[in-house]
Amino acid sequence: MNSILIANPKGGSGKTTLATNLSGYFAKRGQHVVLSDMDRQKSSLNWLERRPDNLPIIHGLDGRGKHSNSLSADWTIIDSPAGIHGEKLSEAVKKADWVIVPMQSSTFDIGATEDFLKILSDEKAVRKERTFVAMIGMRIDSRTKAASKLQSYLEESGFPVMGHLRDAQIYVQAAEQGASIFDLSPSRASKDVQQWSMLLHWLVSASREVK
């Protein structure tokens, strides 16, 4: 099983967007996918409830309590809550093969995430390279000074940067339908799908080597 934790202590950073779209991507590839939602708001599980029957199946799991991994998944995608820290963070990181940290370009987002990245780099699983961490920019307008500032910050974070996703209504429209952008027609989604290529290549190529 491959396990991906989506984590950032700040609310609204794009965790659920990443979690649901990654789940949609792997499901479309014919993989057995479990989407585990640790957030009490259940945004990911609510997205699953809206998912049409004709789209590839994704299994939902309430990840707030301790549970055994009874579902033998090819990929488990974990949508973590805002403010995750301490023992809950350590336990989630230890169980994950990858941690993906979404970030937006505002000063508030950068400030809120800075301490989290320091804590993350000190986690035993990360230090011993049993869990790998990557960053991704969310809702980015590449023409702005804020985007340039975020790019500089990400490059200095010590973790690899796996691209930037633009601020596009297609994500909102897909989410309302319980779909990912990978479930949409190429004529609608090709521009945005291309922005995922670096992240997806990193995950798929490394999945052959993880525990």
One-letter amino acid of 158? G
Top-level class of domain 2-206: alpha beta
**Domain chopping of the chain, boundaries:** 2-206
pLDDT tens digit at each of 211 positions of the chain: 899 999 998 888 899 999 999 999 999 999 999 999 998 889 999 999 999 999 999 999 987 755 445 457 899 999 998 888 888 888 889 889 999 999 888 878 888 888 888 888 899 999 998 899 999 999 887 777 777 877 788 878 888 989 889 989 999 999 999 999 999 999 999 999 999 999 999 999 877 544 4
Counting every residue, how long is the chain?
A: 211
Q: What angle do CA 62, 199, 65 make, to 5 degrees?
A: 15
pTM over 0.75? The answer is yes
Amino acid present at 201: H
CB 98 within 8 A of CB 162: no
Quick one: three-class SS letters along 172-201? HHHHHCCCCHHHCCHHHHHHHHHCCHHHHH
Structure-block tokens of residue 71: 């579902």
